Amino acid sequence: MSADLSSRLGGNATGIYYPMYSISELPQVLAAKKAFPNVPFNVNINPASGPGSAPREDITNAITQLKSAGAVVTGYVPTKYGERTIEDVERMISAYQQFYPNLLDGIMFDEVSHSSSEFTYYQTVSNYARSLGFSYIRANPGGSIDQVDVPLFDHIAIYESDGYPDESTLSSRTFYPQYSKDVVGFGATIHSTSTYDKAWLHMATKYLKWVYITDQTEPNPYAVFPSYFNQYLTDLSSLAETELSNGGQIQIPSWVKNTAKWWAQGEIGDSDFVNGIEYLIQHDIIKIPKTSATTNTENHIPPWVKNNAGWWAESSIGDKDFVKGIQYLIQVNIVHINYNTSMILSSTAFENNGTIPKEFTCDGADLSPPLSISGVPKTAKSLALIMDDPDAPSGTFTHWTVWNIPAEKSQFAKGEKIIFSQGKTGFGKTGYGGPCPPSGIHRYFFKLYALDTSLVLGESSKKADLEQAMKGHIIEQTALLGKYSRS
């Protein structure tokens, strides 16, 4: 499975499965995906109870637009619970590839048998689909499935009926907790339901990767979105934010939106955008969760990444959705970020991500904590230290700035008298000011920078002045995180 498809699937976030019976439904699907870009969308196209007898330009355009918007797109193949011949099923799979070469992400097998007696049948047709490049396989038994069949598929619809299934049904049919949602995406399609049950959705996302709820009725409950569609998309969007594993805070200067806008409108090229993003992340001007490159390497940026950049520039989507595209570019080795760091900042008073003892806070002696430094690059001319609190109610609060620290310095003692340059804190004074949160648990980042120069800054300088002076001079950086609560 490609990194692009994995990104559009959205990991563990629960998303919408939508069977698009008619091309006339395309505008409403695209509008919904654009309005809620962090909600995964799995859209199934069905030209004529299968691929039909010839390619259609409107289908080609629909697939392209859906994928550009960030949706996963599959093609419909009915199996009649294993009664349709393998040859007939493979003919339909082959037709999709012939009519829409390398466009569809996968195949949706409808009318899938509940019995393990058809294991070889579905193994054969699934393997055939994957051999043609359809790496995502959805199965719709519409109810329970034998567990032996589960590994054959990526998405299994375990409920298709009116009324909400209860938790015990979802738990048993998904074999909870044996499968992570990013390994096997179980789904439920619920129709003829006049009211939206928010509590049920929040419960169901524990078990379901895909869901569709509608007040529309048989024989085709999917042609029109339900009256409460935006309500549960809003809830899914909120839940997706929770599922997004940030591993750290996101900070992007507002002026970066101009760059994103120019790129989305074609005023700057891909290489200029990529080079700019690399520089901004590498120099800590943009802060995003650490993202590792995979073995997958892509040469082209998919349209959805550029679309996200344009929507973000217009403030139609948030920072996290823009960052999702940047993380994808890092994963596929288009954007290259060097995370290799041997420099370490630690403390004998608390572990990384641990609790800062009271004596180093405003509730105690307000002493600076002991710090140990190792692995400083040999080319470093000086070190700089920033301690700040990103959880302060009025914005990030500065607790300590120190610069022109000798590169060979290996530790700070508890409450050490600082003889190096220090700047003003958020308390309006020079020197260390310990944690003093007004409420709740706050995080305190001790950020150490190895610089290729010494800095010329006055003692009254603030954190912004220090950060500006360090631009273009940071060789390596590391951080230590401590937490503190007064309650």
Q: What is the pLDDT of residues 84-129, one digit of tens each?
A: 999 999 999 999 999 999 999 999 999 999 888 899 999 999 999 9
Residue 337 lies in a domain: no
| Same domain for 395 and 357 | yes
| Same domain for 353 and 322 | no
**Antiparallel, parallel or unpaired: β 411-412 and 210-213:** unpaired
Lowest mean pLDDT segment, chosen from 27-41, 100-114, 232-246:
232-246
Enter the tokens of residue 387: 């301690």
Structural domain total, the chain: 3
pLDDT surpassing 70 at residue 340: no
Taking a C-beta distance cutoff of 8 angstroms, is the pair 287, 323 a contact?
no
pLDDT surpassing 50 at residue 427: yes
Residue-number span of the structural domain to which 414 is assigned = 344-484
Residue 14 lies in a domain: yes
Domain boundary among 243, 268, 289: 243
Split at pLDDT 50, 70, 90, the class of 241 is low
| Same domain for 215 and 97 | yes
| Same domain for 350 and 317 | no
Predicted confidence at residue 339, as pLDDT, reads 60
Residue 251 lies in a domain: no
| Same domain for 411 and 272 | no
- Residue percentage of the chain with pLDDT more than 90: 54
Domain boundary among 243, 271, 300: 243
Residue 384 lies in a domain: yes
- Structure-model confidence comparison of residues 474 and 253, the more confident one: 474
Closest CA to 454 of 441, 475, 465, 470: 470
366 exposure class (CB count in 10 Å sphere: 0-12, 13-18, 19+) = middle
Predicted confidence at residue 247, as pLDDT, reads 40
Predicted confidence at residue 336, as pLDDT, reads 77
| Same domain for 157 and 23 | yes
Lowest mean pLDDT segment, chosen from 204-208, 273-277, 282-286, 375-379:
282-286
The CATH number of the domain where 37 resides is what? 3.20.20.70
| Same domain for 353 and 321 | no
| Same domain for 271 and 147 | no
Residue 68 lies in a domain: yes
Domain boundary among 331, 358, 382: 331
Q: 159-194 in b/e burial notation, b at 16+ Cβ within 10 A?
A: bbeeebbeeebbeebbbeeebebeebbbbbbbbebe
| Same domain for 99 and 239 | yes
| Same domain for 406 and 260 | no
| Same domain for 403 and 278 | no
* Whole-prediction pTM: 0.54
Residue 291 lies in a domain: yes
Distance CA 190, CA 49 (A): 21
Split at pLDDT 50, 70, 90, the class of 380 is very high
| Same domain for 284 and 228 | no
